[in-house]
Chain A
C-alpha cells in the first residue's frame, strides 16, 4: 500500500527557495503570486494491507526521519 506524505515548512519559518520561486514567477508576469512555500512529497510503499496500521507506521517515520519537527510539519494524505 502506498502512503503519500507531504512535508512543509512551518508557518513563520523563512523559506528562501520559496521566496526565489515567487520572485521568478512574478518576473514571468505571474503577478498575482504573493507567496510560495516549497516542500517535499514522499510516496512510501508499505507492505501492509491495513491502511490505518500503515498510516500509523508512516506517522512514526515522519516523526523520526522524514520531517524535522523544529521547522517542518507533515501531512499524511
Chain B
C-alpha cells in the first residue's frame, strides 16, 4: 500500500506520521505543499502541526495550497484522506469536512492522553478494529469542534461521527470533554466516509514502551482494510 504525507510550512507531525506508516507496512512518500500533483497513493495524510503559524484561522491558509486541488480530486475519485489535528482543521477549511475547529473552551493548550469511543465501524478506517475505546494523545489549542444544526443533523443521520471523547469506560459527557467540542466530537467522516479528520494523534501511540499501542491498532487495521 502506498501513502503520501503532505508537508506544509509549519507541519510538525509529518515525520512521526512517516515513521508510523512505514512501521505498519505502508510505502510512504513525503509531498511538498507547493507540488501540483501527488504520486499514486492509496492513502493521503494531512499531518498535525501549525501550518502557516495558524495565521487567520487554523488551516485556512494551507487549505488554499497548490497541492489541495490534487487532494480534492483524489477524494472525489474515492481515495482515502486522513487529516490529524491541523490536518483535520485543513480539511474543514477546504470544505471536504463540515464544521470548524474553534479555540478550546477554556483557552488552554491541551496536551494529554484521552480516551475516544469509536462510533462507526462501517468504514475503511475502523472496520473490524478490536477495541471500541482507544487511548490516544491530543495536543491542540483549537480542537473545539462546532457546526451548524443542519450540519449536525446530517452528520448524525449519515453516521459520520467517527470518534468522541469519553473516559476509559466509554462514558461521554462534559467531564470527559477536554475542549468543549459539540457532542464530544473528536473526529468525523465526510458523507462517503473516505475522508476522516480527527484531533487525536494515532501516530503518537505506536510503541508500547514509549506511549501505548492503540495507535498501532488503528494503523494495522487500516492497512488490513486497504488490502
Q: Do A and B bind each other?
A: yes
State the A residues within 8 Å of B (CB): 13-14, 16-17, 20, 65-66, 68, 70-71
When the two chains form the complex, which single residue of B60, B103, B151, B180 contacts A68, counting CB atoms closer than 8 Å?
B60
Contact status of A17 and B103, CB under 8 A, knowing A68-B57, A68-B60, A68-B93: yes
Q: Check if B146 sits within 8 Å of A16, measured CB to CB.
A: no
* Cα separation A16 to B146 with both chains bound (whole Å): 14
Is B111's beta carbon under 8 Å from chain A? no
Q: Check if A16 sits within 8 Å of B103, measured CB to CB.
A: yes
Contact status of A14 and B60, CB under 8 A, knowing A20-B107, A68-B100, A70-B147: no
Q: Check if B105 sits within 8 Å of A65, measured CB to CB.
A: no
Give chain A residues whose Cβ lies under 8 Å from the Cβ of B210: none
Q: Check if A65 sits within 8 Å of B56, measured CB to CB.
A: yes
Can you add 5 more A-B contacts, CB < 8 Å, to A68-B60, A70-B148? A14-B105, A66-B56, A70-B99, A70-B100, A71-B146
Q: Check if A16 sits within 8 Å of B106, measured CB to CB.
A: yes
Shortest beta-carbon contacts, A-B, top 5: A70-B100, A16-B107, A68-B100, A71-B100, A68-B57
* Cα separation A8 to B180 with both chains bound (whole Å): 20
* Cα separation A71 to B57 with both chains bound (whole Å): 11
Q: Fill in one digit per residue for B134-167: 1 if any A CB lies within 8 Å of its CB, else 0.
A: 0000000000101110010000000000000000
* Cα separation A17 to B108 with both chains bound (whole Å): 11
Is B221's beta carbon under 8 Å from chain A? no
Contact status of A16 and B148, CB under 8 A, knowing A65-B60, A70-B99: no
* Cα separation A13 to B105 with both chains bound (whole Å): 11
Q: Fill in one digit per residue for B105-137: 1 if any A CB lies within 8 Å of its CB, else 0.
A: 111000000000000000000000000000000
Is B102's beta carbon under 8 Å from chain A? yes
Q: Fill in one digit per residue for B48-74: 1 if any A CB lies within 8 Å of its CB, else 0.
A: 000000001100100010000000000
Contact status of A14 and B102, CB under 8 A, knowing A20-B107, A70-B146, A70-B147: yes
* Cα separation A71 to B92 with both chains bound (whole Å): 12
Give chain B residues whose Cβ lies under 8 Å from the Cβ of A68: 57, 60, 93, 100
Contact status of A14 and B180, CB under 8 A, knowing A70-B146, A70-B147: yes
Is B104's beta carbon under 8 Å from chain A? yes
